[in-house]
Amino acid sequence: MVDSKIEAEKKFEDFSEWYNDILERADLIDKRYPVKGMNIWKPYGWKLMSLIDKETRRLMNDTDHQEVKFPLLIPEEEFQKEADHIKGFGEEVYWVTHAGKRRLDIPLLLRPTSETAMYPVFDLWIRSHADLPLKIFQMVNVFRYETKQTRAFMRMREIHFFEAHTCHATEGEAERQIYQDLEIMDEIARMLCIPYLKLKRTDWDKFPGADYTVGGDALLPTGRLLQIAGIHQYLTNFSEAYDITYEDLDGEHKNVHQTTYGMSERLIGALIAIHGDDVGPVIPPYIAPIQVRIIPIQYGEDRKIVDHCKTLLDKLIKADIRADIDDREDVRPGSKFYESEEKGIPVRLDIGSNELEDDIITIVRRDTGEKKTVSTKDAIKELKLIFETMQSEMYERAEEFLKNNIVDASDISEISEEKVYRIGWCGTFECGEGIEESTDRSILGTLYDGEEYSSKCLWCEEETDTVAYLCKTH
């Protein structure tokens, strides 16, 4: 039983071992499915993902996106229309070649992302400027044959994927869409307590087929960045390949400007890695499947405490708090506390004979282990307050970690730790390649919002006002 001080040491010692271990015990997924890179979502994990999806859906609806669902299978021919795209994804697509014992006339691939499924139809949906903007999204399974080591939530071969696709009349409107996507991402990051960097990727690291890509990168305890969102400006790259045009006010046919915005279950991977401690994950209250677990501390036959807890539970549920009760009779309170922590349930209510007598509740915060005793009648108000506090404190702690791990480097020799380095870079491919290879790190890009800087390129030593972020990645 963890009492007042929560320890988070193990994840800095051996991240992989710690991560796999707490995932197993949190009961979010089962990794024993007999295909590599494909896990089973258990009820608790799927509930967490569904709550994140629900919030994403709300934000999408609020910004006039409409939900659709496109088929999984894409004909070879459609996939091959945009040259960079196939170069980027060709090596990792799964091919369906047979049905029953028959060979298919046309091989079909499992979508790694849905540009090539959607865009042949966009041309049919869009006629004139009145049909623009077109803003749709879907939440689907996508497949990528990852050759790197797979990892639960972070690098999967079947991915739970969110993808928004938009078409606009002008580049300016497409740019504004990207700005809106980043605002939505900010809200999601707040809900999940994941601060992140918005980095405009280098040309050699952008999405296959994009004009530019903004990566949303979260810093894990390993000191490495994990991309949790990708927002892409396509300009007319795809609309030319797929012939998606609209008739403007002057009767002229023009290619639409397109953007996409993608996220996945990596959001869960990031939040577990960032906020987990030695015992398990810590799930932010806003998206926690169980926000409050009530634990009656009772010995013997008397049902008074359990009954009291059940009344309290009803009250919480009525107030739209996702709560449950652990009233198993054959399990000791200590084990119940521990299980609640292993599952990352943000708030625990311990109710024993003292609480019953004084008509109070003892609230225990999962993130800090802090205990607080309040009057039962104030339960709802206090819990909602604690949710708010936890949300902002968890975000701030992670933000501090991120800030503390961004360091400036003005010479290659300074780059040795597992940190995010801010470096001068003249912007050329040659110097970028030199920096990446000599440091064994990637240039993740420059801040989307820009920042003032004046330094020398780490490689060619030319004066530059470009500051790039250099780091290892997951």
Instruction: Locate 244 and state its tokens.
Output: 């998606």
95 lies in the binding site for a second copy (CB under 8 A): yes
The nearest distance, CB 351 to a second copy, in angstroms, is: 25
Residue 136 touching a second copy (CB under 8 A): yes
Smallest separation (angstroms) from a second copy to the CB of 311: 21
Nearest distance from residue 454's CB to a second copy, in Å?
Answer: 45
Q: How many residues does the chain have?
A: 474
Which segments of 291-352 does DSSP mark as H helices, in order?
304-318, 333-342
Q: Which is nearer to a second copy, 110 or 468 (CB)?
A: 110
- Closest distance of CB 376 from a second copy, Å: 28
Between CA 191 and CA 186 the distance in angstroms is 9
Count the residues of the shown chain that bind a second copy, applying the rule CB under 8 A.
51
Does residue number 148 form part of the binding site for a second copy (CB under 8 A)? Answer: no
When asked if residue 320 is in the footprint of a second copy (CB under 8 A), the reply is: no
101 sits near a second copy (criterion: CB under 8 A): yes
Closest distance to a second copy from the beta carbon of 44 (Å): 9
Shortest CB 30 distance to a second copy, Å: 6
Distance in angstroms (rounded) separating the CA atoms of residues 340 and 352: 17
Question: Which residue, 33 or 179, has its beta carbon nearer to a second copy?
Answer: 33
CB of 393 to a second copy, least distance (A): 31
Q: Which two tokens stand for residue 210?
A: 């994009």
By CB under 8 A, tell whether 93 contacts a second copy.
Answer: yes
Q: Indicate whether 71 belongs to the interface with a second copy (CB under 8 A).
A: yes
> Quick one: which of 16, 97, 404, 428 contacts a second copy (CB under 8 A)?
97
> 7 vs 317, 367, 394, 449, CA distance in Å?
31, 10, 15, 36
How far, in Å, CA of 54 to CA of 62, rounded?
A: 12
Residue 76 within binding range of a second copy, rule CB under 8 A: no
Element housing 56 (H / E): helix 43-62
CB of 374 to a second copy, least distance (A): 31
Partners of 214 in the β-ladder:
200, 231
Binding-site member from 1, 90, 334, 335 for a second copy (CB under 8 A): 90
Q: Residue 51 interacts with a second copy (CB under 8 A)?
A: no
Considering only residues 5 to 44 of the shown chain, the ones binding a second copy according to CB under 8 A are 30, 32-35, 38-43
The H or E element spanning position 229 is: strand 225-235
Nearest to 349 by CA among 329, 365, 328, 332: 365
Q: Which is nearer to a second copy, 39 or 442 (CB)?
A: 39
Q: Which of residues 160-199 bind a second copy (CB under 8 A)?
A: 160
Least distance (Å) from a second copy to the CB of residue 403?
36
Amino acid identity at 437: E
Which of 199, 261, 218 has the alpha carbon at shortest distance from 473?
A: 218
The verdict on 46 binding a second copy (CB under 8 A) reads yes
CB of 78 or CB of 211, closer to a second copy = 78
450 is an interface residue for a second copy by CB under 8 A: no
Residue 39 vs 233, nearer CB to a second copy: 39
Region near a second copy per CB under 8 A, out of 1-9, 138-146, 161-169, 299-307: 138-146
Please, what is the minimum distance in Å from the beta carbon of residue 234 to a second copy?
20
Q: Does 69 bind a second copy (CB under 8 A)?
A: yes
Indicate the residue among 5 and 99 with the shorter CB distance to a second copy: 99
What is the distance between the alpha carbons of residues 72 and 86, in angstroms, rounded to a whole number? Answer: 17
Q: Does 50 bind a second copy (CB under 8 A)?
A: yes
Residue whose CB is less far from a second copy, 91 or 378: 91
Smallest distance, Å, CB 42 to a second copy?
6
| Dihedral pair phi/psi, residue 340, rounded to 5° | -60, -40
- DSSP string covering 346-393: SEEEEE-HHHHHHTEEEEEETTT--EEEEEGGGHHHHHHHHHHHHHHH
Q: Which residues of 94-127 are buried (b: 16+ CB within 10 A; e: fewer)?
A: eeeeeeeeeeeeebbbbbbbbbbbbbbebeeebe
Least Cβ distance, residue 424 to a second copy (angstroms): 38
State the pairing for strand pair 347-351/360-365. Answer: antiparallel
By CB under 8 A, what part of segment 116-135 binds a second copy?
117, 120-121, 124-125
Structure tokens at 52: 């994140």
Residue 352's Cβ-count burial label (10 Å; 0-12, 13-18, 19+) is middle
Taking the C-alpha atoms of residue 151 and residue 329, their distance in angstroms, rounded to an integer, is 37
Give the CA count within 13 Å in the CB-facing half-sphere of 106.
9
Binding site for a second copy (CB under 8 A): 30, 32-35, 38-43, 46-47, 50, 66-75, 78, 90-101, 108, 110, 117, 120-121, 124-125, 136, 140-141, 143, 145, 158, 160
